[in-house]
Chains A and B, each alone.
Chain A
Amino acid sequence: MHAPMTPAEETRLVARLKRREELAFHELVIRHQRAIYGLCLRMIGQPTEAEDVAQDVFVRSFLAIDTFRGDSSLGTWLYRIAVNLCKNRLKYLGRRRSSSAQTVDDVPEGELVRSVAGGLSVGEPAPRPDEALSGNQTEHLIQRALAAVEPDFRELLVLRDIEGLSYAEVMTITGLAEGTVKSRLHRARSALKAAYEALTR
């Protein structure tokens, strides 16, 4: 776990990134990988897709570092990119799922999972039997309930209740007004509870 960077350290890192230094990029990844990968995994729910999107976040942020003006922290800026990329990926996955002729029979066995409504959906890997018997079962259920919440609500749950960001940071990342963030968050929390109950019923 890395200690948070001071503003001066962050300014120096940004300057090195703008000089296209490879080691600066490595430092950026090492410092933020846990937060960014965690966010992507909670948003998307699939480890392979989450890893791909998280890598993309760092690649794109490096390529666009000249547009970083320092109005927010580097971490907040990365979160913003991550949230946008996750939502794009979710849309893409949704389109692919609905437009392809893929049926349940075409999907590998491990990727079938019962949706909250009780049917079968494609994408999220089902817990292995040994995991289902372990203490991870609750966590799997929570992740599945989270995946059942609308992405616009899910992002608030992830940013606020999992990542523990302040409302100011959440507003910067989502571009939403404070009242909207708070009312949506309330509905998101209730929706999560309902989804979890549907899974455990």
Chain B
Amino acid sequence: MRDDAALLTDFLDGELPPERHAEIERRLESEPDLAAALAEAEAGRALLGGLAAPDVPLDFARQTRRRLKRKRAFRPRRAGMERFGVEIFAVVAAVAMFAVYLFLEIEQSRPLGPLREVPGITHGP
């Protein structure tokens, strides 16, 4: 019967291949006990099919979170500079490097000014 019990569950849940399913159908016609056992199980399963999903109690998530907070299980949140320290440093460093790059670029591209006259030195022939 243990084997039949598992088999009937497979039959009821549509887990059997077609030829095996047909075989059980033939057995059900000739074995009233087996048919009665199937009917019982089918009725039991049908009862549960009518149950609606229960509503979760109001505030369930917040209460659960509070319960865990009491155990100090969360990583404390970092605030301000501490929280964003690395990010702020990275931004400042990037801006500084860009500023240096720009300065060097400008310096290199600036045209040379006219030579200043120095007393006692003549330019050219």
| Interface positions of A (Cβ within 8 A of B) | 19-22, 25-26, 29-30, 33-34, 37-38, 41-42, 47, 51, 54-55, 58-59, 62-63, 138-139, 142-143, 145-146, 157, 161-162, 167, 179, 182-183, 185-194, 196
Contacts and interface: CB of A to CB of B under 8 A. Distances in A.
User: Which applies to chain A's interface (DSSP): helix, strand, loop or mixed?
Assistant: helix
Interface of B: 2-3, 5-6, 8-10, 15, 37, 40-45, 47-54, 56-57, 60-61, 63-65, 67-69, 71, 73-75, 77
A38 B56 CA distance: 8
21 contacts: A21-B75, A29-B64, A33-B61, A34-B53, A42-B54, A54-B60, A142-B47, A146-B48, A161-B45, A162-B48, A182-B9, A182-B10, A183-B9, A186-B5, A186-B6, A186-B9, A186-B41, A190-B37, A190-B40, A191-B44, A193-B43
Of the candidates A59, A157, A191, the one having the most CB atoms from chain B within 10 angstroms of its own CB is A59
Contacts of A29: 60-61, 64-65
A192 B41 CA distance: 8
B75 A189 contact: no
A161 B48 contact: yes
A63 B60 contact: no
A118 to B, nearest CB: 20
B24 to A, nearest CB: 13
B78 to A, nearest CB: 12
B49 A161 contact: yes
Contact of B47 (A51, A145, A185): A145
A139 B51 contact: yes
Given A21-B74, A38-B54, A139-B51, 12 more contacts: A19-B75, A22-B65, A29-B61, A33-B61, A47-B57, A54-B60, A55-B64, A58-B68, A145-B47, A161-B49, A162-B51, A189-B44
